[in-house]
Amino acid sequence: MKILLLVTSFNSVTQAIHTKLIDSNHIVSVCFAIEEKQTLKEIEEFDPDLILCPFLKSYISSIIYDRYPVFIFHPGPRGDRGPNSLEHALKSHTKKWGLVVFQANKEYDGGNIYAQESFDVRNTYKASIYRKEIVRASLNALDTLLENIKNDNFVEQILNPIHKKLTKEDKTINWTIDTTQEIIEKVNLCDSFPGLLDDILDLPCYLYGVHKEEKLKGKPKEILAKRDGAICLGTVDAALWISHLKEPNGFKLPSTYVLKEKLKGIKEERLPLIFDKSYKTFYELSVDKKDNVTYLHFNFHNGAMNTAQCIRLKYAIEYIKTQCDVLVLMGGEDFFSNGIHLNILEDSKKQGEDGWANINAMNDVVHAILYASEVVTIASFCANAGAGGFFMGLACDYVVGKEGIVLNPHYKTLGLSGSEYHTYSLAKRVRKDVADKLLNDCLPISITEGKNMGIVNEVFSHNKYLESLHSFAISKYDEEFLWDKEEFLEENTQMIEVLKEEELKIMHSEFWDKESKFHNLRYEFVNKISPLQTPSRLRIEMIKDYKNA
């Protein structure tokens, strides 16, 4: 079928649906619903058999749903109607929630339901549920939806009243009476959009990334410490960490970057390089050990890695590889990694210098992985990966992933040619023409397609992912493999390093030249500047068939 994705943006759910439809050999194009005239024009040019809306914040014109079958993915169960459904799920402390796909009509969120899924609600923040449970439910619902459309099989929506908007009180912290848990729940309710508005040291800002603290204590809202960009604040009964802040009309940054000199005299409360998770606090690096396998978690916010984080991760890898036989890179809770930290570079007064330091620090991490001849290394894509974060994973001996994961193996949407040794690691796995398509077409691929292409070694099911991963990790330890790896690296180090240096030669001007496309594209990305039309790479005439490459 010719299927159009009518969306507000090309977000995680949209990319997951896009890749699954492509894998199923449908003809897929994307249209950003920016304004009615542009939207109608792009729809008419593609003339789809079906329109799907996995992420659409605006109303659909009757001109569209009267002419085409249109189906909307709604992040709530049957009977739930209205915006901000996940906020209501979290506010109500429900243990079960769901997703429905209904046909668009004149009744707001009232169309017939052609697919529905349910899931358990984790105790976490709103965006994490969206990126995991909602994405997974959407992918599961897609097969049911297409089958039920074919057979015209549906159930009627329950026309409950449209839920009320959450009140200002629901999203406001009263530091004098709210407990630590109540504050955590309020921040989670609004994370990551729009964030919870408060003021810290008389600076109005939105709060993100809340973590409970069990050791430090202080007066309500007193800043007790800072750590790796986060700040610790006292509460009426304990303390908590806030990792990121955003000033109104600004963009999200680590808390210490926003507060700057206001934090003069606040102690840096350090942890060991790798935290043992013996108490609740804010940390980014941790390990789990089982048999001869060590799992390294690096939970960097939104998968972005600044220079300091890269340095700590490199040191962690260099230490851990002396303590185990198999090292598995697990990435973070919501993202494996997305490469260099664009928001911090945008905030920098020395963008060229700091960008250059960041990419070289990323390369140092990749170097530590690539030359870890003492251990078998495995990248575990159990969350989405993109740009330099994806190519960092490719430095491992093996790459595995969880079904439903989306990979973005490219850099050029931000005006970068990229480094992270990608001209070596990608060439090891695919032919040059396939590598060039991935890098130039700038489209996401599913983890399953990654395996078909030879980029990924194995894909495991969601339900038994960790068990399958561990079995795989144990099976790959082989002393002869390590001897061969060490010999290969000794013989080919110069070739590998020459490729990396060539990458950096090209990237040098991208960071240092004030007229570089990177600076403008980074500004638009960080400040979430909406495009005036759908990016051409997402429209049908730009979509290439990798399977026939």
Please provide the average confidence, as pLDDT, over all residues in the chain. Answer: 96
Q: What percent of the chain has pLDDT over 90?
A: 96
Q: How confident is the model at residue 549 (pLDDT cuts 50, 70, 90)?
A: very low
Residues of the chain with CATH 3.40.50.170: 2-151
Per-residue pLDDT band at 545 (split at 50, 70, 90): very low
- Residue 165, pLDDT score: 85
Where do you find CATH 3.10.25.10 in the chain? 172-263
Backbone angles phi, psi at 256, to 5 degrees: -70, -25
Inter-residue contact 359 to 419 (CB < 8 Å): yes
pLDDT of residue 164: 86
Q: Which of 116, 119, 133 is nearest to 79 (CA)?
A: 116
Contact 68, 88 (CB under 8 A): no
pTM (predicted TM-score):
0.96
Q: Does domain 172-263 have CATH number 3.10.25.10?
A: yes
492-509 tens-digit pLDDT: 999 999 999 999 999 999
Instruction: Identify the CA nearest to 78 among candidates 53, 50, 114.
Output: 114
What is the per-residue pLDDT for 540? 82
pLDDT digits (tens, 9 = 90+) for 178-202: 999 999 999 999 998 999 999 999 9
- pLDDT bracket for residue 543 (50, 70, 90): very low
Identify the pLDDT of residue 544.
44
**pLDDT 10s digits, 291-325:** 999 999 999 999 999 999 999 999 999 999 999 99
CATH class of 2-151: alpha beta
How many CA atoms lie less than 13 Å away from 542 in the CB half-sphere? 15
Say what the pLDDT of residue 541 is. 53
**Where does the chain hold its CATH 3.90.226.10 domain(s)?**
285-462+487-526
Mean pLDDT for the stretch of residues 449-476: 98
Closest CA to 188 of 173, 175, 174: 173
Q: Which CATH number is 285-462+487-526's, of 3.40.190.10, 3.30.420.270, 3.40.50.300, 3.90.226.10?
A: 3.90.226.10
Judge contact between 342 and 414, C-beta under 8 A.
yes
Q: Give the helix ranges, DSSP H, for 220-341.
A: 255-259, 307-320
Looking at the chain, the whole-number percentage of residues with pLDDT higher than 70 is: 98
**What is the torsional sign of CA 214, 270, 331, 406?**
positive
Q: Is the pLDDT of residue 445 over 80?
A: yes
